[in-house]
Amino acid sequence: MAASRLELNLVRLLCRCEAMAAERRDPEEWRLDKYVGALEDMLQALRTQASRPAAEVLQEYARKVDFLRGLLQAEKLASSSEKALANQFLAPGRVPTTARERVPATRTVHLQTRARYAGEMRQELLGTDSAGERELEVRKRRPAAEKHSAAELDLALQRQQQLQEKLAEEMLGLARSLKTNTLAAQSVIKKDNQTLSHSLKMADQNLEKLKTESERLEQHAQKSVNWLLWAMLIVVCFIFISMILFIRIVPKLK
């Protein structure tokens, strides 16, 4: 089914928003926020259309729009650690928006923002800036502060690693639960198939028995009709011969 005009406009605006999200923007930049709001309105209108796309396509559009909205909300947080933590919970798109993309643009943006927030958090914890000379000077002047900042960085990285391990364990638990449910469903389906096969087999056997009995009943009915026919013929012949004899023997009335 061909895409509607509304869907084409949504895809164009979504590509534009993904390109803007991949760039480093000024904090006062307001266009992306407005564009994402327009995407949300267009997605809501697309869901109510009679010629709307498949549910999987709508779900992918919603996933990308939610990612962009979450990215904007994460950028408004105060500290880099909060931004990095919020970025961990964002879910980028799974399918490229256009055929020219090999990797979904939202996934690339997700990796870029994760790296940027990690760098900002490292700078906040270490008290450094982008200039290498100034970083060297700070290290020379404040070795104790550097050690303390490095310890804080290690602690933050350890927390992130623990959070990732926790999420991995939860995903593993969900996968195990899904596997268990799938095996149980397969067992139930297998039993149902066996029961159905047995029922079909019994039905075939009953049909064969019914056919055999019907043939026997038909043969028996034909035999009964033949005997009855011969008996009636014999009775008619006997009556006919008796009448002839009665006429011959009994004299006519004068």
Contact indicator for 18, 58 with CB cutoff of 8 Å: no
The answer to the question of residue 76 being in a domain is yes
- The whole-angstrom separation of Cα 13 and Cα 61 is 12
Q: What is the pTM of this model?
A: 0.45
* pLDDT tens-place string over residues 14-68: 888 888 888 877 777 788 888 888 888 888 888 888 878 888 888 888 888 888 8
The answer to the question of residue 119 being in a domain is yes
Q: How many domains does the chain have?
A: 1
Please, what sign has the CA dihedral across residues 239, 241, 244, 248? negative
CB atoms under 10 Å from CB of 4, counted, come to 15
Q: Which domain holds residue 17?
A: 5-126
* pLDDT tens-place string over residues 87-118: 777 888 778 877 777 778 788 887 888 888 78
CB atoms under 10 Å from CB of 122, counted, come to 16
The answer to the question of residue 220 being in a domain is no
The answer to the question of residue 245 being in a domain is no
